[in-house]
Amino acid sequence: MATGDDLKLMAIVRRILLEEGSEVTPDDLDIDGSSLGPIGAWIAQPHAALGGSTLMEAYRAGASEDIIRSAVRSALESGTAPRHLPLAMSAQAQQLCCLCGAAPASTRDHVPPRGFFKGSTAGLQLITVPACQLCNNGASVDDEEMRIYLAMEAGKPTVEAAAMWDQGALKSLKRRQALQGQIGRTAAEVKDPATGEERLAFMIPADVVHRVMSRIARGLHFHHLGQPLPASVPAKVDKAENGTDLQAGDLALLNHGAVGGTAFRYAWGVDQDGVSGLWVLQFHAGPTYYVQTGMNAQGQGGIS
């Protein structure tokens, strides 16, 4: 049964959640007499930020709104605040995040990241997969950085690539001075072995490439197989030659997919064990990466 204190605290918590950018829906406040709904249940649970007390106990003991706010914030950061509850309580929500395989999915993530299609997303059939809030938000810095590298490396061979560069990546790069310095420090003229032409090469941080590409492969794995690739299954990322022909040689035997014409093309195959696979990811007809998973990811080399 709802008491006056419960309702007052729930209203405060709901307001704080909204102010902190959580997506609280009316369902979160469903009070039907026997149940206080997700927020009501949540304020009666122990909170780590309150030393194991519940928000209700803290409120009744006279905790200020600042204290309540900081407890709500830390719950939002750890992904345990009520923006996850409505989904977690529905049948759908038993579904786990297909990227970390650990937390309940509460949102959908674009695979590859939406920003890789800047300027060309209208009318595109983008692939989305269930993800937790942490995986979804946590990757945006990596994604933005990777987009800059992809744009620099792809150049502007296609309309889509030019749009990504002009409408997205260039602005990002101008905003990020540390990254400009890093690119400048590692840039060097190299001779392209294929054409003999001089071109500018620069270092792309292996850890960023690894995180972005393995995440895309995990997302695609779920998209095509309907099952998350367990987090314990390793992924190894290797750079392939720019513009690798996905329809030639052994790659022709794989399955193929594309999003946005030349913006993103990929080839893939997964072994009988359901986890060991090869994902070849190509962006704007240029930069190409191999992501090998499971048994295929064991062995030497690669960006891991």
If we measure between CA atoms, which residue out of 106, 122, 132, 107 comes closest to residue 38?
106
**Nearest-approach distance from CB 235 to Zn ion, in angstroms:** 15
Helix (H, G, I), strand (E, B) or coil at 67: helix
**Nearest-approach distance from CB 286 to Zn ion, in angstroms:** 29
Under rule CB under 5 A, residue 16 binds Zn ion = no
Q: Which is nearer to Zn ion, 278 or 291 (CB)?
A: 291
Q: Which is nearer to Zn ion, 75 or 183 (CB)?
A: 75
Bridge partner residues of 235 (DSSP): 293
Q: Which is nearer to Zn ion, 3 or 78 (CB)?
A: 78
Under rule CB under 5 A, residue 97 binds Zn ion = yes
Measured between alpha carbons, how far is 222 from 232 in angstroms, rounded to an integer? 15
Q: Which is nearer to Zn ion, 68 or 134 (CB)?
A: 134
Phi, psi of 266 (to 5 degrees): -150, 155
**Nearest-approach distance from CB 134 to Zn ion, in angstroms:** 6
Contact pick of 68, 81, 99, 254 for Zn ion (by CB under 5 A): 99
If we measure between CA atoms, which residue out of 89, 178, 194 comes closest to residue 141?
178
Q: Where are the alpha helices (DSSP H) in 131-279?
A: 133-138, 140-154, 159-164, 170-175, 177-186, 206-225
Would residue 33 be called left, alpha or beta, if left means φ above 0 and alpha means ψ between -120 and 50 degrees? Answer: left
The contact pattern for Zn ion, residues 46-85, with x = CB under 5 A and - = no contact, is ----------------------------------------
Tally of residues, the chain:
304
Q: Which is nearer to Zn ion, 100 or 124 (CB)?
A: 100
**Nearest-approach distance from CB 77 to Zn ion, in angstroms:** 14
Name which of residues 123 to 162 contact Zn ion (CB under 5 A).
132, 135
Interface residue list for Zn ion (CB under 5 A)? 97, 99-100, 103, 132, 135
